[in-house]
Amino acid sequence: MMAKVTLRNLAAHKIRLVLTAVAVILGVAFVAGTLIFTDSMNRQFDDMFSRIGQSVAVSVRTTDEGGGGRPVPASVVESVKNVEGTENVVGNVTGFAGVLGRDGEMAGPPAEQGVPKLGVNWADDTGFTMTSGRAPRGPAEVALDAATARDAGFGVGDTVQVVTSGPVQRMTVVGLIDTGDLMGASVTAFDTATAQKLLLRPGYFTDLQMESAGPSESELRDRVAAVLPGGFEAITGEQLREETKSEVAQIMGFFRTFMLVFALISVFVGAFIIFNTFSMLVAQRTRELALLRAIGAARPQVTRAVLGEAVAVGVVGSTLGLAAGAGLALALQGVAGMDAALVFTPTPVIWSYAVGIVVTVVSAYFPARRAAKIPPVAAMRDDVALPQRSLRIRVALGSLLAAAGAALIAAGLAGSGNGAVALVGGGAFAVFIGVTMLAPLISVPVVTVLGAPFARLLGAPGRLARRNALRNPRRTAATAAALMIGLALITVVNVLGSTMRTSIEQQIENQFGADYLVQAAGGGISGASVGSDVPATLEKVPGVEDATAIYGGQATFGGEEVQYVAGDAAAVVQAGRLETVAGKAEFGSDGFLVGEGAAKERGWTVGAQVPIRFPDGKTATLRVAGIYAENDLVGGHVLDPRVYLAHTVKPQIGLVVVNAADAGAATTEAIEGALAAYPNLEVSDQAALKDRARGQVDSMVTALTTLLMMSVIIAAVGVVNTLALSVIERTREIGLLRAIGLGRRQLRRMIRVESIVIAVFGAVLGIGIGVAFGAALQNALSDQGLTVLSVPVVTLCVYVAVAAVIGGLAALWPAWRAGRMDVLKAISTE
């Protein structure tokens, strides 16, 4: 019998349950879309790895010790070729290379997106397929990956401008390559000699690969390792493939975790809506449920009936969410530039239904329990209502959770590592739950204040709207809580973004002392560097006093692998406005400079002898010549460029600092003109550096805010649902109001104002929590560059206004429906 009751109730409340299912659909879509997309990408990479490198038996590369990056000289290639059992020994050359489109811009995704632009030497066993044309031969020929060529409008026979670290090279496209879709990366292939000249150094390779003429991979690896000089290692092809797969799996794992965090936020917000909806449905059906109890239905049967409705909503929402997730995965593939077919595994299906059904049932459990507790005698009363518990227990528990959460956050911010992150996350979750439990208490004074202007300006509709919002604090709080969570997280992101912008601008003002900075677009992200002849070119520009190359390297200092910069000491001191706190800012014959923090951490003082191992496998002992105050732009270690060049086969200029007699518009234009042959280089003064930093931070904030907007959309659905159910619940009351003279417009205005007040209450509460969390994070991260707390007041005020608009829009359908009610029928409603 109870199954029939469940089905009848589902049929009777279709619209309400559909609105509830929307919350499930959106949350599940995020989960399913993320899982389907990552599964599809993993399958695509597995297919690609099955084609690339399968014939490789052994690979020779630099060891990780000393920072890596040591190229393999041709002499090692000859030694390996003489090892018994080796076959088809191939030297690979890789580096940065791209092509200019017909519009003069770099073809392919912008460097800031982190998508690599690879330059390689073409070999028959690259794993890539030549789809048309032939392999490049000679210094004037190049092959492009088919996707980049298609996007840029190039084909075989076209002349293109190729960009590497040096001046632009004009070359002829002789072939198009199918790369297997390397995450949108563009590939430019040269013959080996040209690749060595442009990307590395003549006579050197990035690594070696070979096939086996009979021996097993492990046996051949041991034979090859026996002839290798120090600083190189031989690994089996299986190890190489597994390492590559592991690296990709790690990246995909991070992406999956990142996206699932936002999915779970959406699901968490949706749980509030589901709870609120079922609470209202149970409250409206109190007499009906009491009648069921009166005719013999047991408490467990009533509970199961309500939970049965929840299961049905969860199943429908999960099914539609899974379908929507497939569409989201397709959209993500489009953004990533992939056109492979989607892969459907059991994982997203299982998790979609698990998340959708479990969250729905858990959210509906407490309303279902309350429904079962309705006494049968309640069916004989006209004013029957569900009993409301006292707020005392709720306030006590909410206060305890909020205090415990704050303590966990404080402990996490004081610590470090993954454990600290877990503490902060757990504390934030506890604070959210605590504030949500306290929200009914908070809502009374806040809603009273927020509703006051409407009461004064709109008269009776405004006063009625405020009273309606205050009538049931629990419902108002539950409706606002969903919006609170989304806006709290968005506020944290915006506060941290504003803090990052302000802190970076202050760092640039305090720590950038040069007139101009010249660097490759995308910097280290793209793998590009500044050409070795750029400093000399710049020094010839009228008005330029000096142009100093600053190199970037990696080495092991006293047993710890670190990043360092190398450049003329006086130029680095001026460009970074370094403040010397001990010793002198001079290298001398065997010195280097170190930041105050690094010196304290390692116990170094002026004069300390530090062994440094470089990527070429050699070790040098250098003296701490000077210690400077912390400087985020320069970093913690500065070496003499002569030391860097002595241990580097292919020097990489990270940037060039330029000082001019008059850093005006004329000089800027002259510098840019001199670098016309280097289209990948950017010229920046202090203002341009600030603009670029702001742009990068704004892009990050926009991306995160967009992802978090899903939770706000779900919250808006919750407002619609609550108002729609509230209108049904107050049918008789609305009829009486209309009967005593309240017009349709006034009625609709009343409902809209009620919705706006609830939405603004959620926004104010969420923004307040977000600002507090943002301030706490800034304080904890102040030693990592976030030195100035900046609250984007204007942006947050805009969010409050947006919340008001969301509230107004959410009320359109419920208000329209209320205005269409027949007065007599409404009054006669029981």
pLDDT at 681 over 70: yes
Average pLDDT over residues 707-717: 81
Q: φ and ψ at 164, to 5 degrees?
A: -125, -155
Reported confidence tier of residue 159, pLDDT bands at 50, 70, 90: very high
Averaged over 56-79, what is the pLDDT? 78
Kindly state the greatest CA–CA separation across the chain: 103
Q: Which of 608, 593, 597 is nearest to 558 (CA)?
A: 608
Residue 203, SS3 per DSSP: coil
CA distances 563 to 132, 237, 552, 553, 612, Å, are 43, 30, 7, 6, 12
* Residue 94 reports pLDDT greater than 50: yes
- This model's pTM is above 0.85: no
Instruction: Indicate if the pLDDT at residue 387 is higher than 70.
Output: no
| H-helix or E-strand spanning residue 89 | strand 86-92
Round to the nearest angstrom and report the end-to-end CA distance of the chain: 25
β-partners of residue 566 are 551, 639
Residue 638 CB coordination number (10 Å): 28
- Block residue for tokens 């909503």: 313
At residue 713, the pLDDT reads 82
pLDDT band of 611, cuts 50, 70, 90: very high
The packing angle between helices 744-780 and 731-739, to 10°, is 130
| Max avg pLDDT among 60-64, 486-490, 518-522, 735-739 | 486-490
Residue 227 CB-half CA count within 13 A: 16
Q: Which of 239-243, 384-388, 484-488, 494-498 has the highest mean pLDDT?
A: 494-498
Fold annotation for 94-199: Barwin-like endoglucanases (2.40.40)
DSSP character at residue 106: B
Name which of 19, 23, 17 is nearest 714 in CA terms. Answer: 23
- Helix, strand, or coil here: 280? helix
Question: 567 pLDDT exceeds 60?
Answer: yes
- For the chain, domain boundaries: 94-199, 411-512+686-830, 516-684
Query: pLDDT band at residue 285, thresholds of 50, 70 and 90?
Result: low
pLDDT digits (tens, 9 = 90+) for 235-276: 998 888 888 777 777 777 777 777 777 777 777 777 777 777
Instruction: Please name the residue ranges forming H helices in 119-216.
Output: 146-152, 192-199
- Cα-to-chain-centroid distance, residue 584: 42
- Give the pLDDT score at 14: 64
Q: What is the pLDDT, as a whole number, of residue 306?
A: 76
Cβ–Cβ under 8 Å, residues 450 and 431: no
Contact (Cβ atoms closer than 8 angstroms) between residue 564 and residue 637? yes
Residue 332 pLDDT greater than 80, yes or no: no
Instruction: Give tens-digit pLDDT for 792-809.
Output: 999 999 999 999 998 888
Q: Among 736, 744, 731, 743, which residue's Cα sits nearest to residue 830?
A: 731
Residue 402 in this model has a pLDDT that exceeds 50: yes
What percentage of residues in the chain have a pLDDT greater than 70?
86
What's the pLDDT tens digit per position in 423-456?
777 787 788 788 888 888 888 898 889 889 988 8
pLDDT in tens, 177-227: 887 655 567 889 999 999 999 888 899 998 999 999 989 999 999 999 999
What region, left, alpha or beta, does residue 702 occupy, with left being phi > 0 and alpha being psi -120 to 50 degrees?
alpha
Q: What is the pLDDT of residue 592?
A: 94
Triad 214, 219, 223: Cα angle to 5°: 100
pLDDT tens per residue across span 763-786:
999 999 889 888 887 877 777 777
Which token pair is 323? Answer: 């379908």
Tokens of 499: 């803090």
Task: Choose from 256-260, 470-474, 654-658 the range with maximum mean pLDDT.
Answer: 654-658
Residue 109: what pLDDT?
A: 65
